[in-house]
Structure 1
Amino acid sequence: MTSKAAGAATKAMVVAGVMSGTSADGVDVAICRVSLGRSGVAPVKVLGHSKFAYGKKLRAMVLAAASGQKMTAAKLATLSWKLGEEYAACVEKTAKQFKLSPQLVAVHGQTIFHDADEGMTWQIGESAVIAERLQLPVVSDFRPADMAAGGQGAPLVPMLDWHLFCHATKNRLLLNLGGIANVTALPADCDVKDAMAFDTGPANMVIDAVMQRLFGKEYDSSGRTAAKGMALTEVVKKMSAMKYLQAKPPKSCGREEFGKEFVDKLIALCEKAGATKEDIVATATGLTVSTIVEAYGKFCWPHLGQIAPGAKATEMLIAGGGAKNKTLMRGLTEKFAALGVKVGTTESAGLAVEAKEAAAFALLGWLTWHGLPGNVPSATGAKRAVVLGKVSYGG
């Protein structure tokens, strides 16, 4: 970093981070103050957070595109522009609600395709529309730069995890339960290059799909449906044998691995075993718990032990919409307690569970604006740290 860039980077900025994840349920906006603190650590303070649900028609279009349904170029372009308008409106409403004036907007966009093995990804939501509507510069399209450098393009949240949650004496696991579950393993007092992070497998995506298919509901509110059923251990075991779940990090996934075909197979196996509808939801929930615990044992724990063998304790902080699923949280808490890992949420550290990913992109946008790298090569597998994203200038 040049002295000029370093000087500029020390100035605090108010950045609106915008996230719409693989669950395709809506948009999270976190307006944050970001600056450069001591030892290169960037404090990120959430000043205001709002969540907006997609309208039925827009969500249907997003799901159709993300599920690989045939769509004309015109329809994909229309969807991208509509999402741009949606993101701009969400930022505007959040800024008005909290009486804030963002100086920069950082937009993840809506993923409609991600194939890390082939080095391709596509997030849509026209940034020029956002920049024009808000008259603000917009950083978008974060993942391709990492993939061009040989990385998976994901996960990108580890940069925030390290800046906010690295502890001097404790190992920390940062688990995000969105459509996909991803974990960051931070050895005690580690450098950012020692962070391990990867997608463990499905979280809300499969549970939501089962609920929609069997109950006509968008999701399992508080995990109440799963609590009425019983997870089928043999089905969980069979579904956990898939290649992705056994592969070593770095790795990332999405609807390509855990979409319709995966859900079809899960439901078919459960029905063959005589499961009730509630049992099938419980099995989908149990699968999420099982794959996270297995990933910890296979990959995270050896890494933590190697980098920080003298750590006093290991704790897990959970964020994402799945943190509100009591059945899912109970399963994780019980399984990890048996492994000596205390489970809580990011709320205890002052970060709302549904604001974390949007806050992460606020930080990444700030880094891009100052010409600073935003990826963590040890997490994505990239050959080097690179500046992420593309800038659309408004105003």
Structure 2
Amino acid sequence: MIVAGVMSGTSADGVDVALCRIMPSAKKNGTPRIKLIGAAGFRYPKPLRNAVLAVMDAKDASVADLSRLNWRLGEVYAGAVERAAQQFGIKVALVGCHGQTIYHQGAALKYLGRPIRCTWQLGEASVIAEKLRVPVVSDFRPADLAAGGQGAPLVPILDYVMFRSEKVNRVLQNLGGIANMTAIPAGASIDDLLAFDSGPSNMVIDACMERFYGKPFDRNGAIAKRGKVIQQVIHPFLKQPYFSALPPKSCGREEYGEKFVNHFISLCRKVGAKDADIIATATALSAESILDAYRRFVWPHLGQKAPMARGVEYVVAGGGAKNETLMTMLRSGLEPLGVRIRTTEELGIPTQAKEGVAFALMAWLTWNGLSGNVPSATGAPRPVILGKVTRG
């Protein structure tokens, strides 16, 4: 079955489409077989990106605008799948669309007298199904939340299916708007996975770049490379409760959006930081929070679950994999621990395509009545079937 996986992340910079051929395992109780046919990325038009970011950071939002944006994103996702399918000359049979997250609250908070977990992704599936005339699986997170999980991270199911090794410990690191990691001990069962969001990756960097340089991201980490890291700003942030909280845990723009960025910039300015210094410091905050999470949670987990395994492979995906300054910071912290850093490119998946592949897999699982969450990652008490099916 040919499945298109569609992903637009917390950076809100555009749409990634992964076209996959997915087949059942040849072995009884085995994992599905996935072949990536092709991948394509499409940037949001600037007015659309501005509208998405405004909704994410708004204290109040017009119901009419939310409805219109939901419909417009459906059109954008349908167009992206159509263009990708034409580019690679294939016919898609199923679409898995994550949608654009505008709010995610993985931990329960009181609302109208009751503890509530909630999440909201925009991108009208009916529009996609009608335009493409194929079934669409969308809205993956709510089923896990309703079962008592955090609804994130969801990508660990792909990490397990595609990257598990019998002999080598692997850590799958995604560097999107948020940094999330999946630790897979050598020879692991799915219950042995440890996965969680460690904190911001590109989100704070991108916001500062937009503010100071009018650019959506720091290409190759060039501006961070020429700036000076202000350590006295980073250390107080790393003492915040989220970083020491035990997994499972998830975060997003609610924690590291405009309010956080304003506070971060203010602290940098107080110690005389220039624009490039702030970009360098935001990059170092991402790297040091990831390294702290690895030492604090991942290293002990791997040693406990697979103490005799042959080393650790640290496999990076996401837009941050192209930020050379961020990658250099990660290497300087991980390589002395005997960790080998690779990218998903070396294992057959372009760094920008991984999450698209993940949602193609989740759609296929849902279509076949199979669960798609990893309870040890989300905190859900049981596996559940994810998503809602809209027939074309």
- Answering whether residue 19 of structure 2 is matched by residue 31 of structure 1, we say yes
CA offsets, 1:84-139, max 9 Å, x none? Answer: 00000000000000001111000000000001112110001000000000000000
Task: Report the counterpart of residue 203 of structure 2 in structure 1.
Answer: 205
Runs of 4+ in 1 over 3 A off after TM superposition: none
Cα RMSD, aligned residues only:
0.8
Secondary structure at the counterpart of residue 107 of structure 2: coil
TM value normalised by structure 1: 0.96
- Of residues 308, 315, 322, the one that matches 2:306 is 308
CA offsets, 1:249-307, max 9 Å, x none? Answer: 00000011001111111111111111111111000000000000000111111111111
Task: State the 1:206 CA deviation.
Answer: 0.4
Name the aligned partner's letter for residue 230 of structure 1. Answer: K
Task: Report the counterpart of residue 48 of structure 1 in structure 2.
Answer: 38
Task: Report the counterpart of residue 151 of structure 2 in structure 1.
Answer: 153
Task: Report the counterpart of residue 221 of structure 1 in structure 2.
Answer: 219
Q: Matches of 1:42 and 1:301 in 2, distance apart?
A: 29
- Answering whether residue 185 of structure 2 is matched by residue 187 of structure 1, we say yes
Name the aligned partner's letter for residue 46 of structure 1. Answer: L
Q: Matches of 2:19 and 2:172 in 1, distance apart?
A: 21
Is 258-267 or 32-41 further displaced after alignment?
32-41
TM value normalised by structure 2: 0.96
Name the aligned partner's letter for residue 14 of structure 1. Answer: I
Secondary structure at the counterpart of residue 328 of structure 2: helix
Task: State the 1:189 CA deviation.
Answer: 0.7
CA offsets, 1:59-105, max 9 Å, x none? Answer: 11110111134221111000000000000000000000000111100
Runs of at least 5 residues in structure 1 that lack an aligned partner in the other structure: 1-12
Q: Matches of 2:340 and 2:228 in 1, distance apart?
A: 25
Task: Report the counterpart of residue 240 of structure 1 in structure 2.
Answer: 238
Name the aligned partner's letter for residue 309 of structure 1. Answer: P
Amino-acid identity (%) = 55
- Of residues 57, 68, 74, the one that matches 1:78 is 68
- Of residues 131, 136, 139, the one that matches 2:137 is 139
Task: Report the counterpart of residue 267 of structure 1 in structure 2.
Answer: 265
Task: Report the counterpart of residue 6 of structure 1 in structure 2.
Answer: none
Q: Matches of 1:203 and 1:67 in 2, distance apart?
A: 18
CA offsets, 1:328-377, max 9 Å, x none? Answer: 11111111001111111001101100000000000000000000000000
- Of residues 328, 348, 351, the one that matches 1:350 is 348
Task: State the 1:231 CA deviation.
Answer: 0.9
- Of residues 163, 167, 170, the one that matches 2:161 is 163
**Which residues in structure 2 correspond to 1:280-291 (within 5 Å)?**
280-291=278-289
- Of residues 77, 86, 96, the one that matches 2:86 is 96
Task: Report the counterpart of residue 337 of structure 1 in structure 2.
Answer: 335
Task: Report the counterpart of residue 10 of structure 1 in structure 2.
Answer: none
- Answering whether residue 10 of structure 2 is matched by residue 22 of structure 1, we say yes
Structure 1 residues 69, 57: CA separation in 2 closer, same or farther (over 3 Å shift)?
Answer: farther
Task: Report the counterpart of residue 111 of structure 1 in structure 2.
Answer: 101
Secondary structure at the counterpart of residue 185 of structure 1: strand
Task: State the 1:223 CA deviation.
Answer: 0.3
Secondary structure at the counterpart of residue 50 of structure 1: strand
Name the aligned partner's letter for residue 230 of structure 2. Answer: L
Is 383-392 or 58-67 further displaced after alignment?
58-67
